[in-house]
A and B are shown apart, each in its own frame.
Chain A
Amino acid sequence: MATRYSFGGDEHIFVEVEEEMSLDAFFKSLSITTAVRESRIKGVTEICPANASFQVKFDPDVIKPADMLAEIKKLEEQATHGAAEIDTRIVELPVFYEDPWTYETQMRFRERHQDPSSTDIAYTARINGYASTADFIAAHAGAPWFVSMVGFVSGLPFLYQMVERDKQIESPKYLRPRTDTPKLTVGHGGCFGAIYSVRGAGGYQMFGITPMPIYDPRQETPYLREFMVFFKPGDIVKYKPIDREAYDTALAEVEDHRFFPIVRETRFALEEFKADPGTYTKKMEGLLHGV
Chain B
Amino acid sequence: MAFEVKKPGLATTVQDLGRPGYYHLGIPLSGAMDQEALIAANLIVGNDEGAAGLELVFMGPELVFQDDAVIAVTGAELPPKLDGQAQPTWTAIKVKAGQTLSFDFLRQGARAYLAVAGGIDVPVVLGSRSTYALGALGGHQGRKLAAGDVLDVGAPQRSVAEGHALDPALRRGVAEPAMIRMLPGLYWHRITEAAGKQFFADTWKVAPEADRIGYRFKGGATLEFVPREPPFGAGSDPSNIVDACYPYGSIQVPGGTEPIVLHRDAVSGGGYFMLGTVISADMDQIAQLQPHKAVRFVEVGMEEALDARAERRRNIEAIKAALT
Does A155 lie at the interface of the complex (its beta carbon under 8 Å from any beta carbon of B)? yes
A6 at the binding interface (Cβ < 8 Å): yes
Q: Which of A75-83, A134-142, A187-195, A249-257 contacts B (4 or more CB under 8 A)?
A: A187-195
CB <8 Å contact, A50 and B245: yes
Is B242's CB under 8 angstroms from A53's CB?
yes
- Of residues B142, B240, B243, which shows the largest number of chain A Cβ atoms within 10 Å of its Cβ? B243
How far is A22 from B306 in the complex, measured between Cα atoms in Å?
A: 36
Q: With a CB–CB cut-off of 8 A, which chain A residues contact B242?
A: 18-21, 51-53, 190
Residues 249 to 294 of chain B near chain A (Cβ within 8 Å): 249-250, 254-255, 267-271, 274, 276-280
Contact (Cβ within 8 A) A190 B185: no
Give the distance in Å from the alpha carbon of A142 to the alpha carbon of B271 in the complex: 25
CA distance A200 to B302 in the complex (A): 35
Contact partner of B243 among A192, A201, A215, A217, CB < 8 A? A192
* A151-B255 contact given A14-B247, A190-B243, CB 8 Å threshold: no
What is the CA–CA distance of A192 and B302 in the complex, to the nearest angstrom? 34
**B280–A21 contact, CB under 8 A?**
no
Q: A10-B302, A50-B245 are in contact. Are A217 and B280 (CB under 8 A)?
A: no
Known interface pairs A21-B232, A189-B235, A217-B125; A151-B135 also in contact (CB < 8 Å) = no
Task: State whether B234 touches A20 (Cβ < 8 A).
Answer: yes
Most B Cβ at <10 Å: residue of A14, A51, A153, A154: A153
Say whether B244 faces chain A, with CB atoms less than 8 Å apart.
Answer: yes
Interchain CB contact under 8 A, A9 and B183: yes
Instruction: Determine the chain B residues whose CB is within 8 A of the CB of A60 once the complex forms.
Output: 280, 306, 309
Any chain A CB within 8 A of the CB of B236? yes
- The reply to whether A215 and B244 contact each other, CB–CB distance below 8 Å, is no
Give CA–CA (A49, B26) in the complex, Å. 11
Say yes or no: is B23 at the interface (Cβ < 8 Å to chain A): yes
> Which chain A residue shows the least CB distance to B308?
A10
Given known contacts A190-B242, A190-B271, A198-B134, A7 and B279 CB-to-CB distance under 8 angstroms: no
B178 lies within 8 A of chain A by Cβ:
no
User: A7, A22, A165, A218: which has the most chain B beta carbons within 10 Å?
Assistant: A7
Residues of chain B within 8 A (CB-CB) of A65 are 302, 306
| From A11, A14, A153, A218, contact of B134 by CB (8 A) | A153
Instruction: For residue A109, give the distance in angstroms from its CB to the closest CB of chain B.
Output: 15
Interface size on A, residues (CB 8 A): 62
Indicate if the CB atoms of A9 and B247 lie closer than 8 Å: yes
Query: Considering the chains assembled together, what is the distance between the CA atoms of A197 and B24 in angstroms?
Result: 15
Say whether A19 contacts B231, CB under 8 Å: yes
Q: With an 8 A cutoff between CB atoms, is A176 at the interface?
A: yes
9-residue interface stretch from A40-48, A90-98, A237-245, A273-281:
A40-48
Closest Cβ of chain B to A180, distance in Å, is 12
CA distance A17 to B250 in the complex (A): 19
Give Cα A228–Cα B259 distance, bound, in whole angstroms. Answer: 32
Most buried by A among B185, B240, B244, B279: B244
- Choose from B142, B234, B248, B313 the contact partner of A11 (Cβ within 8 Å): B248
In the complex, B127 has a CB within 8 A of chain A: no
Judged by a CB distance under 8 angstroms, whether B237 is at the interface is yes
Give the bracket for the number of chain B residues in contact with chain A.
Answer: 35 or more
Pair A152/B232 contact, Cβ less than 8 Å: no
Once the chains bind, are B134 and A200 in contact (CB under 8 Å)? yes
| A190 B25 Cβ-Cβ under 8 A | no
Q: Mark B156-185, 1 if CB is under 8 A from A, else 0.
A: 000000000000000000000000001101
Nearest-neighbour CB distance to chain A for B316, whole angstroms, equals: 12
Q: Give every chain A residue within 8 A of B27 (Cβ-Cβ).
A: 154-155, 229
Quick check: B255 and A175 within 8 Å, CB to CB? yes
Is residue A110 contacting chain B, with contact meaning CB distance below 8 A? no
A218 to B138, CA, bound (A): 10
> A9 — which chain B residues lie within 8 A by C-beta?
182-183, 247, 249-250, 276-280, 305
A229 / chain B contacts, CB cutoff of 8 Å? 25-27
Contact of B233 among A14, A20, A215 (CB under 8 A): A20
Shortest distance from the beta carbon of A149 to any chain B beta carbon, whole Å: 6
B98 at the A/B interface (Cβ < 8 Å)? no
The answer on a CB contact under 8 Å between B234 and A54 is: no
A203 within 8 A of B: yes
Question: Are B243 and A12 in contact (CB-based, < 8 A)?
Answer: no
A191 to B242 CA separation, bound complex (whole angstroms) = 8
Which residue of chain A has its CB nearest to the CB of B20? Answer: A45
- Cβ < 8 Å to A, chain B residues 18-46: 20-21, 23-27
B137 on interface, CB distance cutoff 8 Å: yes
CB-based contact B236/A151 at 8 Å: no
CB-based closest 8 A-B pairs? A21-B233, A8-B247, A9-B277, A20-B231, A191-B233, A154-B135, A151-B268, A12-B247
Binding site for A on B (CB under 8 A): 20-21, 23-27, 125, 132, 134-137, 142, 182-183, 185-186, 188, 231-237, 240, 242-245, 247-250, 254-255, 267-271, 274, 276-280, 302, 305-306, 309, 313
Interchain Cβ contacts under 8 Å between A and B, 13 examples: A9-B249, A11-B248, A14-B186, A20-B231, A45-B21, A51-B233, A51-B244, A152-B270, A153-B134, A158-B243, A176-B254, A190-B233, A203-B254
Q: A154-B134, A170-B233 are known contacts; what are 16 more A-B pairs with Cβ within 8 Å?
A: A6-B186, A7-B302, A8-B183, A8-B186, A9-B183, A9-B277, A10-B302, A46-B21, A151-B24, A152-B243, A153-B26, A189-B271, A190-B271, A192-B271, A198-B134, A198-B135
